Amino acid sequence: MSETRPHRIFTTSFATVYPLYLTKVERKGRTKAELDTVIHWLTGYDDDALARHLDAGTNFTHFFAEAHLNPGAAKITGIVCGVRVEALEDPLMQQIRWLDKLVDELAKGRPLEKVLRT
């Protein structure tokens, strides 16, 4: 019988991934403000809450556990890392991949209104 262990990303600090997201979007001419807008839209966090999570080194499990996910997040579809985000069964992995997908779309130059499903 094999032991099921949580995926490594679940215990990874959001603060270690945020700079990678920022570098990705800035390389493509997007801004920190746009990245933060995407994170705010998905999680319901404001600037202060986001800063607290970054300063505290909150891992992805707690980062999403405290979030108030946008009801529009269910409209996020597509492929991230070779996997369809809408087909993911683990809710936390799906939430992480939703964020990855939004960051990818922002970096690819998609208009912010479309990234935010408005």
Q: Does the residue 91 lie in any domain?
A: yes
Which residues form the domain of 56? 8-112
**Which residue type is seen at 38?**
V
Q: Does the residue 117 lie in any domain?
A: no
Q: Does the residue 70 lie in any domain?
A: yes
Q: Does the residue 45 lie in any domain?
A: yes
Q: How many domains does the chain have?
A: 1
Q: Does the residue 1 lie in any domain?
A: no
64-71 contacts at long range (C-beta below 8 A, 24 or more positions apart): 64/92, 64/95, 64/96, 67/42, 67/43, 67/95, 68/43, 68/44, 69/42, 69/43, 69/44, 69/95, 70/41, 70/42, 70/43, 70/44
pLDDT band of 4, cuts 50, 70, 90: low
Q: Give the containing element (helix H, strand E) for 80.
A: strand 79-80
For residue 36, the domain's CATH number is 1.10.8.290
pLDDT at position 2, please? 42
pLDDT at position 64, please? 98
pLDDT band of 81, cuts 50, 70, 90: confident
Q: Does the residue 40 lie in any domain?
A: yes
pLDDT at position 5, please? 64
Q: Does the residue 85 lie in any domain?
A: yes
Segment 12-22 mean pLDDT: 97
Q: Does the residue 118 lie in any domain?
A: no
User: What is the SS3 assignment for 83?
Assistant: strand
pLDDT band of 19, cuts 50, 70, 90: very high
